[in-house]
Structure 1
Amino acid sequence: MKQLVIFDSNTNRNADNWKIINDAVMGGKSSGLFSLKENGNCVFSGTVSLENNGGFSLLRNRFAKIVPNKYSKVIIRVKGDGKRYQFRIRSKIADDHVYIAFFETSNEWEDIEILLSDMYPTYRGKRLEKPNYSKESLEEIAFLIGNKKAEGFKVEIDSIILT
């Protein structure tokens, strides 16, 4: 089966494409951190705060355009903390909206499979009256935590692959 590796921590040690965006952009007090472990995995961790109408932290990775129309799903290899996260994709950097899917983590390494056709469009947390992801273009992936509660979080990301 054909696959396309978007990120593999064993071969891609470049942290430059990863960026944290916290709710501080809206006055919030959450703090997310990104780091690379010696074993290669990237770690997205921090604290979500509800102060000042806050409540989220996001880790994103932007890259040159991919046309994922030959693929049906994304497989994310992660080790989480038992919390719920959101996986997000953006067709074009210029788009306001993103396509999302929620996933639950455990304290073990696991492969999370998300059908691309199930990813639905949102803007600032509101579902849009638009079709689900069409697989025409892909320029950004992201992980977001925002469970409407103050909490610490930590998820390790090993790989992100389209199949």
Structure 2
Amino acid sequence: MQSKVIFDFNKESDVSGWQITDDVVMGGVSSGTFYLSPDGFGVFEGNVSLENNGGFSSVRYRFPQIEVSKDAGLVLQIKGDGKRYQVRVKDSSENYYSYISYFKTTGEWQEIEVPLKEMYPSFRGRKLDFPNFSCDQIEEIVFLIGNKKEESFRLLIDEIRVSYLAND
């Protein structure tokens, strides 16, 4: 299986390119942080609040374009807290919309495969009326939590890559 690493966290990783966007951009009061753990994992954690019509926190990473094929998918090495998260990609960081998919964490280390062709277009929580992902590159990935409830969260990230996934 061929793959291209988007980000492989280790103790020397530079995480300055990862940026938090919380609901404060629209008046909310949720707060997320992103940092490198002493063990060399990316840590996305914080609190989601529903105050002032808020309800989400996200962390974004833009990178040089990676070519993808119709059979490609994201492979996430993560350890969550039992909560549901979104992973989002953009083929162009200038697009107003993202392609999204949900995944549930178990509290243990997981390898989650997300076929790109199953990711659907969305903007501000609304599904858009055009096709699922069918582009030939990606240049941004986002992890988001927004489960319509107040909650603390913690997601550890070890590696993110694009791979050709096995056919169903």
Question: TM-score, normalised on structure 2?
Answer: 0.94
Q: Deviations over 1:5-47 (max 9, x none)?
A: 0010038601121000000000000000111011110000000
Match of 2:43 in 1: 43
Q: 1:105 to 1:88 in 2, by over 3 A?
A: same
Q: Which residue pairs with 1:57 in the alignment?
A: 57
Q: Deviations over 1:85-123 (max 9, x none)?
A: 000001101101100000000110010111111000001
Query: Which amino acid is the alignment partner of residue 36 of structure 2?
Result: L
Aligned counterparts, 1:92-131, within 5 A? 92-131=92-131
CA separation of 1:115/1:78 partners in 2, compared to 1, >3 Å: closer, same or farther? same
Q: Where does residue 132 of structure 1 map in the other structure? A: 132
Question: Within 2, Cα distance between the matches of 1:114 and 1:90?
Answer: 14
Report the alpha carbon displacement of residue 147 of structure 1 after superposing the two structures with TM: 0.1
Q: Following the alignment from structure 1 to structure 2, what is the Cα–Cα distance between the partners of residues 77 and 96?
A: 27
Runs of 4+ aligned residues of structure 1 deviating over 2 Å after TM superposition are: none
**How many Å separate the matches in 2 of 1:72 and 1:144?**
21
SS in 2 for 1:25: helix
Deviation at residue 78 of structure 1 after TM alignment? 0.5
Do the aligned partners of residues 12 and 127 (structure 1) sit closer, same or farther apart at CA in structure 2, a change above 3 Å counting?
farther
In 1, distance between residues paired with 2:70 and 2:148?
36
CA distance in 1, matches of 2:87, 2:70: 20
Task: Report the Cα distance in structure 2 between the residues aligned to 1:53 and 1:66, rounded to whole angstroms.
Answer: 36
| Percentage of pairs with the same residue | 48
Q: How does 1:1-163 map to 2 (within 5 A)?
A: 1-10=1-10, 13-69=13-69, 71-163=71-163
Structure 1: distance between partners of 2:61 and 2:135: 18
- TM-score, normalising length: structure 1: 0.96
Assess if the C-alpha contact under 8 Å between 2:11 and 2:39 holds in 1: no
When structure 1 is superposed on structure 2, of 127-136 and 24-33 the one drifting more is 127-136
Give the whole-Å Cα distance in 1 for the aligned partners of 2:107 and 2:40: 18
Per the alignment, residue 166 of structure 2 pairs with none
Moved more, 8-17 or 43-52: 8-17
- Cα 1:11–1:5 change in 2 (3 A) is farther
Output the aligned Cα RMSD. 1.2
Question: d(CA) in 2 for partners of 1:154 and 1:104?
Answer: 13
Q: Partner of 1:4: helix, strand, or coil?
A: strand
The aligned length equals 163
Deviation at 1:135, TM superposition (A): 3.1
